[in-house]
Structure 1
Amino acid sequence: MNRYTRLLSIRWTPVLCLVLVAMAAVAFASLARGATSTKAEAVHYRVDHGWPQLPPGRDLGGVSGLDVDAQGNVFVFHRNDRVWPQSNVLSTEPIALPTVTVFDGRTGRILSEWGANTFAMPHGLTVDARGNVWLTDVALQQVYEYSHDGRLLMTLGTRGVAGSDSTHFNRPTEVAVAQDGSFYVSDGYRNTRIMKFSPEGRFLFQWGTPGNKPGQFDVPHCVKVDREGRVFVCDRSNTRVQIFDAQGHFLAQWKGAGIGRPYDMAIAQDGSVFIADGGDQPDAPPDRSGVAVVAPDGKVVHRFGRWGNYDGQFEMAHDIAIGPDDAVYVGDITGKRIQKFVPNRHL
């Protein structure tokens, strides 16, 4: 037997064959996991410096709501110079300047503005599948549906009148629109309930009472609907996300240090969930604020951002949205700005 033959005989012993088969199985399993992993597991995010482009001296004021349409345009609901008073008594005097600003998601340029002399204390903003814009005003106690270009289509609630029946709200926070056009309202700061309406605005049912048990709320601050029709609620003061079926039956909750205090959330196409953790807002800094990236099973995969006022930091992450290009937009209501984060797949 020559040297080359001896090497071949060593290379293909039964033990070596078993080792090679095991290695191949491990490699295949790894590839399979990668093929089914979510963006939450594979992607990190970095801030897009210089986005948006505002005229010199322009200040949006508190950014209370935002969303992105199918074309990647970013709709921002903001308060200009109106601030939430320490007295907690909200003025119903309309804000003179435009309160809805639409940005080009790619360049950050302002495309249009509307909502001047209309809203008193802007809060939630949602863009539905048709491109219509849903807004809530916690001072005027109303919910609105607008066309993409700012024409009023529907108003629910009585201007400036709080109530707990099926035709009134008490500081409603957000709207979520289901695939069939029906919609949910998180109501809100004082009524601690979720209300469901038909596409035409007819009240259907509600659920929720004050408390910390499943199905109870302490400031339901946001409401979202996923592709399966499940309803996600940011139960802010209970520091958790609650999940329900379309009829309001409790399914699960997400809670923990990684989740933080959910102010808003956005659901990606693959089911990953991005949660704006607004922090605990102590009387004196420092605080905690950032974005929790959560897998569909509720596991916190990672977080980005922290408390502060530099790029990529937040004083209070209040609202969040995801664009069709996977860019993540975060509204900082105390920092009075919106920031764009883009996927960095090279990390």
Structure 2
Amino acid sequence: MRGSLAILLIATSVFAQPQHEVVLDWPQLPEDHVLGLCAGVGVDAQNRVFVFHRSGRSWTNPFPKETISQPTVSVFEGGSGELLSSWGANRFIMPHGLTVDHEGNLWLTDVGLHQVFKCTPEGKVLLTLGEAGVPGNDHTHFNLPTDVAVLRDGSFFVSDGYKNTRVMKFTADGKFEFAWGAKGKGPGEFNLPHGIALDTQGRVIVCDRENERLQVFDARGGFLHEWKGPHIGKPYGVETGANGHLFIIDGGSPSLKLSERGKAVELDATGHVIDTFGSQGDAPGQFQLGHDIAIGPDGAVYVAEGTGKRVQKFVRKK
């Protein structure tokens, strides 16, 4: 791997006053609408917030064979939090990643089915990759794929994820191009590549979750940087804002003190911390296993929680 090892370590006492605050009573969730563990979240250009959730299903080993009978994708209006629609019943086994591409399509990963799906916002399947229920490590199979990042030309990266510890690149029509990564701690190696995103420079940002770091690559998988430290924690999800800043959600690293775990982090394009907000807990503005993060067209930040079984909205303080 080319590039140099750049490690970012920042003291936890630098940013005492968060620049973001939680929006209370968001979303407006009907009493009979169960989210359960919220695995993925994304926002389209119309400010619709899409949440990929497990509708009460728990992570078990082995996974159930039957699909979830209730809707697994809920669509909210970003401003009011009103539930606009829901779909995905009887289609998924273990929902995981959700990405909205530049055309407004949704990319969903199911770690139970070992598949990646491209869908319309209404749920029509446009493209399916992987063989249903069959794990593998060749070019046509995944093994618990976690997330997708899509370029403007429609080509995309898949973090393939829990078992294969690699990143795969595909053309817009789903043809395999190349892959990189193996199990390990070195540059370009992974211990559970979980979230993945592209920044405004075209770099590939990977949440190397169990190695407790972000790895930054060029568009061909060439290693550029490693960012880690107490403010990074254990990154689960990553997204890029319109200003080029990166937002990550720390799922909660056991290597940190309880007061330092489980927060959202805003980084500039060089990996320096701009803001941290939230903490571990179940109160509004706190997180119980933050699992994914997304940025709306108005700059609002959305965090999907696992154990907390909710999605929260944050805005920049005025």
TM-score by length of 1: 0.84
| Aligned partner of 2:216 among 243, 255, 261 | 243
- 1:25 maps to which residue? none
Matches within 5 A, 1:6-21: none
Structure 2 CA distance for partners of 1:287 and 1:300, relative to 1, 3 Å? closer
| Alignment-mate amino acid for residue 65 of structure 1 | G
| Aligned partner of 1:61 among 16, 25, 36 | 36
- 1:292 maps to which residue? 265
- 1:185 maps to which residue? 158
Q: Shift of residue 281 of structure 1?
A: 5.7
Q: Shift of residue 179 of structure 1?
A: 1.5
Q: Does 1:261 align with 2:234?
A: yes
1:260 & 1:50 partners in 2: Cα distance? 28
| Alignment-mate amino acid for residue 249 of structure 1 | G
Deviations 1:199-237 (A, max 9, x none): 000000000010010000000001111222210000000
In structure 2, list runs of 5 or more residues that go unmatched: 1-14
1:146 & 1:301 partners in 2: Cα distance? 34
- 1:114 maps to which residue? 87
Is residue 222–residue 265 contact of structure 1 (8 Å, CA) maintained in 2?
Answer: yes
| Alignment-mate amino acid for residue 248 of structure 2 | I
Percent same amino acid at aligned positions? 53
Q: Does 1:45 align with 2:20?
A: yes
Q: Shift of residue 271 of structure 1?
A: 1.2
1:141 & 1:92 partners in 2: Cα distance? 12
Structure 2 CA distance for partners of 1:43 and 1:281, relative to 1, 3 Å? closer
Matches within 5 A, 1:1-347: 44-85=19-60, 88-280=61-253, 288-345=261-318
Q: Shift of residue 132 of structure 1?
A: 0.5
- 1:17 maps to which residue? none
Q: Could you say what secondary structure the match of 2:210 adopts? A: helix
Deviations 1:87-119 (A, max 9, x none): x31113100000000000001011111100000
Deviations 1:112-151 (A, max 9, x none): 1110000000000001010110000001000000012110
Moved more, 330-339 or 299-308: 299-308
In structure 1, list runs of 5 or more residues that go unmatched: 1-39
| Alignment-mate amino acid for residue 154 of structure 2 | G
| Alignment-mate amino acid for residue 158 of structure 2 | V
Structure index of larger Rg: 1
1:291 & 1:208 partners in 2: Cα distance? 26
Q: How many residues align?
A: 301
Q: Shift of residue 287 of structure 1?
A: 7.8
Q: Shift of residue 71 of structure 1?
A: 0.9
Structure 2 CA distance for partners of 1:301 and 1:126, relative to 1, 3 Å? same
Q: Shift of residue 295 of structure 1?
A: 1.5
2:123 & 2:314 partners in 1: Cα distance? 27
CA RMSD of aligned residues (A): 1.6
Q: Could you say what secondary structure the match of 1:237 adopts? A: helix
Is residue 94–residue 113 contact of structure 2 (8 Å, CA) maintained in 1?
Answer: yes
- 2:11 maps to which residue? none
Structure 2 CA distance for partners of 1:304 and 1:146, relative to 1, 3 Å? same
